Amino acid sequence: MRYELYYWPEIQGRGEFVRLALEDAHADYVDVARQPQGMTAMLRLMQSRAQRRPPFAPPFLRAGKTVIAQTANILQFLGPRLGLAPKGEADRLWVHQLQLTIADWLVEAHDTHHPIAGGLYYEDQKREAKRRAEDFRTNRMPKFLDYFGTALARNRGARVTYADLSLFQMICGLRYAFPRAMARLERPRPWVAAHHARIAARPGIRDYLASPRRIAFNEQGIFRHYPELDG
């Protein structure tokens, strides 16, 4: 099965959580919008009246005739197929629960630079962004980090799942966007660097991160480095 991933071609964004799972498993996939005419194909599919089950937004995945949207939903579908999800129902619900909590965290990370409207420029909501980012660094980052630290500690020895890859991506993104805050928060939380290193050393991930397929972080994506938001 060749999977088709549809996502904006110039950012990591939400698509990156899917890319990491596909790359970790050395899956056969095409990153459609990064191919010639790919953006046209993506927009055509989104707008097609023949699409009985349209996505609200990218990313979405085509697997044969099935089109699946929503990052966590795509990962839930891919997980068992890529060896990145456990077998039992309760175990799968737990991994999905972690993934949905990461999704919540990601929205909050995004909204630090766009607290008023995604359709406005950062410059038009910079003052509000400073207030929101301060709350995020002070209250939300430690709360989410401690939750995942606890979850990992209580499930030591569990096999790596797509949620572990997504947690790795959160760490990468937060280190990029908030280097000072993350340095401070990681000091008393050595599990963060350990988790990052563990995932980065997996062959599929290592190869991917060194390849041109890994788009660099930038200021069009979800994680943006604006020093004034880093305290």
Q: Tell me: does residue 69 bind a second copy (CB under 8 A).
A: yes
For residues 163 and 95, is the Cβ–Cβ distance under 8 A? Answer: yes
Token representation of residue 63: 């697997």
Q: Tell me: does residue 48 bind a second copy (CB under 8 A).
A: no
Q: Which residues of 108-127 are buried (b: 16+ CB within 10 A; e: fewer)?
A: ebbbbbbbeeeeeeeeebee
Q: Least Å distance between CB 176 and a second copy?
A: 23
Across the beta sheet with 29-31, what order do the strands follow? 29-31, 3-6, 60-63, 66-69
| Among the listed residues 96, 137, 175, 202, the single contact to a second copy using CB under 8 A | 96
Stretch that binds a second copy, among 1-9, 103-111, 195-203, 223-231 (CB under 8 A): 103-111
SS3 content of the chain, % helix, strand, coil (to 5): 60, 5, 35
| Among the listed residues 9, 38, 54, 142, the single contact to a second copy using CB under 8 A | 54
Nearer to a second copy, 91 or 186 (CB): 91
Nearer to a second copy, 135 or 219 (CB): 135
DSSP three-state, residue 62: strand
Stretch that binds a second copy, among 5-13, 26-34, 36-44, 131-139 (CB under 8 A): 131-139
Q: Tell me: does residue 201 bind a second copy (CB under 8 A).
A: no
Q: Least Å distance between CB 209 and a second copy?
A: 28
For residues 161 and 84, is the Cβ–Cβ distance under 8 A? Answer: yes
Total count of residues recorded for the chain: 231
Q: Which amino acid is at 181?
A: A
For residues 163 and 147, is the Cβ–Cβ distance under 8 A? Answer: no
| Among the listed residues 26, 35, 116, 197, the single contact to a second copy using CB under 8 A | 116
Residue 162 dihedral angles phi and psi, to the nearest 5°: -60, -30
Nearer to a second copy, 100 or 209 (CB): 100
**What's the N-to-C CA distance of the chain in angstroms?**
47
Token representation of residue 94: 């737990």
Nearer to a second copy, 141 or 205 (CB): 141
Q: Tell me: does residue 70 bind a second copy (CB under 8 A).
A: yes
Q: Least Å distance between CB 52 and a second copy?
A: 5
Q: Tell me: does residue 159 bind a second copy (CB under 8 A).
A: no
> Residue numbers of the site for a second copy (CB under 8 A)?
51-56, 66, 68-70, 72-73, 76-77, 89-90, 93-94, 96-97, 100-101, 103-104, 107, 111, 115-117, 119-120, 125, 128, 131-132, 135, 139, 144, 147, 150-151, 154-155
